[in-house]
Structure 1
Amino acid sequence: MDKKCFVCHSLLTSENNSSEHIFLFSLGDTHPVKGIVCKYCNNWLGEVVDFDFVKTFKGLYKTVSGKSEVVSMTTEQGERFSVPIKNEQIENKPILSQSPFKFIDESNFSEHFYDSTDAETSMKKQTNRNPDKNINYNITKETSIPTFYIKPKIDKVNFTLEILKIQAEYLRSTDYNVNTLGEFIFKYANVNKNLPNPFEPFEKLLIYIFNSVIQPGFKYIPKNTDIIPGVSKAEVIRLKEIDWMFISLFGKVNMTIPIITQSFLNLLTS
């Protein structure tokens, strides 16, 4: 049976058939396959989806990996806080960063302290270091901890497009006979690729799919599924008489999502 490009539906020949990494090579896919996409659409997908996905993946990994980090944030008043972040949420109480010890004149100095206890401890250390001096302190200003807001770095539209692309290409490579939503979206965008943003008509839908389908899928990993660090993979699994897909990106971001077709979307939004 002759195979066609899943994007433009042109017949694949020895001249236009391309070797496609279903997952990006940088995400551990070392086995490209043929018979999925023509070289013209392959290059186009690389430009409009894959290129930005590398940055999107890094942001998402921080979100779902449970990795903690401390970010320095400065208020409009110039006060610097250390803000602990985990899963794109502020994990614990932000802490006012201590400023360096600063002399005002021969008899006075200024310094930031976390609280009065910290100030007393610091003064005791200064007294022990300078036993011949009478060191006192007074609090000239108390700083209240402001409310910080975290703006996620994840491009939900781009991430969803990449997942739809992976799903469409993987199913094509296994001769799974179904028309996915991704095929429809990529065909439309390819026909209208001269527009500034050919995916614009689908952006709200793509964000909805991320929030309602993909993000919940991060929480479920099927039993007896091998997750290999540094390797990306996909497989169709049967759950409650419905075919789902397990997708592992570099062994770091893992999800179980339904095969997204137009009929599934109609059911989801009904």
Structure 2
Amino acid sequence: MVKRCIICNQVLTKENDSPEHIFLKSLGDKDPKWGLLCKGCNNYLGTYIDQPFMKIFEPLYRTVSGKTEKVRMDFSDGHQYIVQIKNGVLDESFKPLAVNPIVEKNDTEFNAKFLNTDEAKKFMEKIKKRYEKKGKHVEQKLTSKMVDPKITGDKFSLTPSIDEFVFVLEVVKIQTEYLHSINYQVKNGSFLYGDLVFRPMVNHFDDAVATKRNLGIMKQWTWRMFENVIIPMGLTNTPIAMPLKQGYSEARVIDDITGKTGEKVEFTVINLMGLITIWVPVLTADNLVNLFGGAAMFLNPYDTREYE
């Protein structure tokens, strides 16, 4: 059977076939799939979708990477600190480091926030040496009582920032590649929106202007997807048939939800690293109509004629 790239549709050969980690290798995908993407499309999606996504997912990934990692986290007092963590467990022997704790009022006065007195004294010594290099003498003293709190895991929390554009494109990419990898059969002559979304994006590998324009058009669609699909449906509990596995990513298709038309609606349930579970309907016109009724028309990707 002839295999074609699911993005550009060219025939895949030994020379241009490329192994694709559907969930990204760094997100626990150790089983790359062949017969999905050509090298050019794989590289393009990696540059414009996977790499930006990993930047926003990196803090979460570090908490379960299996390695001892330093992670920026929010302390219960509202300030941020660098803490040491491994497999979701805080290393309480590591003294957290304050993130941007200093507000310089003038040459000699500072407002500063520290987690402990040792950290405050180190900062004061650093400031003293800096001024000595300039030939200046500075007197320092602690103007408020410093208390060394006990550092426990429940005092820290991680608040990831989500770029909705990057997040939606990665979710759609995962769904599209996963469904192709299991030979998902689209019903009633419909098509996967992911095929329509990504195909025009890779029309100009070497044309930065066209690439920027096409990505700009996609931002409007991803915003509608994020607000109407990902947020209200996406972040929820994992079904019993798909238990969370820390440090491992996977997906399943389920069809036990009834939509507005009374028909069953198919969902792809995507779990990333045992940290985030995303429910997203299989993105075909028929499936979205079954879920939303007539409102589904507002979730159609832009006509490909709008792309260069």
TM-score range, shorter chain: 0.5 to 0.7
Shift of the alpha carbon at 1:174? 0.8
Shift of the alpha carbon at 1:112? 4.2
Counterpart of 2:180 in structure 1 is 172
Counterpart of 1:187 in structure 2 is 199
Matching of residues 73-222 of structure 1 within 5 Å: 77=105, 79-80=111-112, 111-113=142-144, 153-178=161-186, 179-193=191-205, 194-196=207-209, 197=212, 198-216=214-232, 217-222=234-239
Counterpart of 1:43 in structure 2 is 43
> Matched residues in 2 for 1:259 and 1:80: separation?
51
Aligned equivalent of 2:279, options 256, 259, 265: 256
> Matched residues in 1 for 2:203 and 2:237: separation?
36
Shift of the alpha carbon at 1:249? 1.0
> Matched residues in 2 for 1:82 and 1:244: separation?
47
Counterpart of 2:21 in structure 1 is 21
> Matched residues in 2 for 1:261 and 1:220: separation?
24
> Matched residues in 2 for 1:156 and 1:59: separation?
17
**TM-score (ref. length: structure 1):** 0.67
- Contact 2:28/2:249 (CA < 8 Å) preserved in 1? yes
> Matched residues in 1 for 2:196 and 2:60: separation?
25
Counterpart of 2:74 in structure 1 is 69
1:157 alignment partner AA: F
- Contact 1:61/1:253 (CA < 8 Å) preserved in 2? no
Counterpart of 1:228 in structure 2 is 245
Q: Structure 1 pair 75/199, CA: closer, same or farther in 2 (3 Å)?
A: same
Deviation string for 1:57-105 (max 9, x for gaps)? 125679xxxx96222555685534579xxxxxxxxxxxxxx977x9xxx
Q: Structure 1 pair 6/23, CA: closer, same or farther in 2 (3 Å)?
A: same
1:239 alignment partner AA: D
- Contact 1:99/1:112 (CA < 8 Å) preserved in 2? no
- Contact 2:18/2:38 (CA < 8 Å) preserved in 1? yes
Shift of the alpha carbon at 1:192? 3.7
> Matched residues in 2 for 1:4 and 1:41: separation?
12
> Matched residues in 1 for 2:73 and 2:111: separation?
23
1:213 alignment partner AA: V
Shift of the alpha carbon at 1:28? 0.7
Counterpart of 2:261 in structure 1 is none
- Contact 1:59/1:153 (CA < 8 Å) preserved in 2? no
* Structure 1 unaligned spans of 5+: 84-97, 103-108, 119-150
**TM-score (ref. length: structure 2):** 0.59
Mapped pair 1:269 → 2:298: yes
Q: % of aligned pairs identical?
A: 32
> Matched residues in 2 for 1:247 and 1:158: separation?
16
Alignment root-mean-square deviation, CA:
3.5
The structure with the larger Rg is: 1
> Matched residues in 1 for 2:29 and 2:19: separation?
12
Q: Structure 1 pair 112/29, CA: closer, same or farther in 2 (3 Å)?
A: same
2:6 alignment partner AA: F
